[in-house]
Amino acid sequence: MTLTIVSLLPRLQNTNGDAQNAHVLAARARWAGLEATVVDVESAQALPSRVDAVVLGSGSDSALEPSRAALLTMHDELRRWGTEGVPILSIGTGWELLSWGVELHDGRSIEGLGILPGRAVPRAGRVTGDLVIAAPRLGALVGFENHARDYVGAEGSPLGRVRAGHGNGRDSGQEGAVMGSVYGTHMHGPILAKNPVFADHLLSTIAARSGQEYTPGEQARTVDGYAAAARAAQLAVAGVSVPVS
Where in the chain are the domains? Answer: 3-238
- From the options 3.40.50.880, 1.10.260.40, 3.30.390.10, 1.10.10.1110, give the CATH code of 3-238: 3.40.50.880
pLDDT, residue 155, reads: 86
Give per-residue pLDDT as tens, 196-245: 999 999 999 999 999 999 999 999 999 999 999 999 999 999 999 876 54
Alpha-helical (H) ranges within the chain are 21-31, 64-72, 75-84, 93-98, 191-194, 196-209, 218-238
Q: What order do you get walking across the sheet with 36-41 strand by strand?
A: 36-41, 3-8, 53-56, 88-91, 182-185, 177-179
With 60 as the cut, is the pLDDT of residue 161 above it? Answer: yes
Residue 184 main-chain phi, psi, to 5 deg: -125, 140
